Amino acid sequence: MAKRSIFTLLFLTFCLFAKSQVRYGFKISGGIASQYIDEFDITSTDIITTFNASGVVELPVKYGFWLQSGLGIAGKGSVLHDAALTTTTHLTYLELPVNILRKFTFTDIGKFYIGAGGYLADGLSGSLFYETPSSNSTDFVRFGNTNDFRHIDFGLNFLTGFELNNKLTFDVEYSRGLNNIASAPQKDTGVNNIKNRVFSLGLGYLF
């Protein structure tokens, strides 16, 4: 709970120090998620579909550059094939991204932008679905270094999109996790490294 309060405080601080030119909005996105998993016995990994929703704040800097942040819910995970066992992991995070955007006027319909930055995320909930040829079961994810996955995830963002004159936004975003979220019990079983990857298409609106 303390970690989530820190996330909220950081977001509110960003809003507080923003100038009057700040723009607020929201974004929803869907996409695919995968994980880089370093384990010798893995046969293969697959993607899962994800859904994200967040509030957005944009602050103009200079020369067409904007500072963008927000606070929202982000889905991550993967499908892991290990011999006869298939494990589907769904993870839900409270995520705080911070990106630098460069916007370019695009004819008379709006603006084109590209950007990059980073994100910090805290695990909220998740599920593990286990399937074999003869059975299946489900378990809830417990976050913590002595449980299923470590709480904190952080990494890099890369995005590009369009901001139309009617205030609608469309973007494509790729997030690449840098933090190893494998817990101590996972490392004891031979899983040395787990890092999140997410590719998404987003639709937003700026007030």
Query: Is the Cβ–Cβ distance between 16 and 50 less than 8 Å?
Result: no
Separation of alpha carbons 136 and 86, rounded Å: 9
Return the biggest CA–CA distance within the chain: 61
Q: Where are the domains of the chain?
A: 2-93+101-206
pLDDT of residue 11: 59
Residues 6 or more apart from 4 whose CB is under 8 A from it? 94, 122, 124
Tokens of 15: 């809003």
**147, 182, 191: which is closest to 42 by C-alpha?**
191
pLDDT of residue 6: 60
């700040």: which residue's tokens?
22
pLDDT of residue 135: 95
pLDDT of residue 7: 59
For the chain, which ranges sit under pLDDT 50? none
Let me know the angle formed at the C-alpha of 203 by 114 and 121, rounded to the nearest 5 degrees.
75
Separation of alpha carbons 42 and 33, rounded Å: 18
Q: What is the pLDDT of residues 90-138, one digit of tens each?
A: 999 999 999 999 999 988 899 999 999 999 999 999 999 999 999 999 9
pLDDT of residue 13: 59
Query: Is the Cβ–Cβ distance between 103 and 72 less than 8 Å?
Result: no
Burial class (CB in 10 A: 0-12, 13-18, 19+), 28: middle
pLDDT of residue 42: 81
Check: pTM over 0.85? Answer yes or no: yes
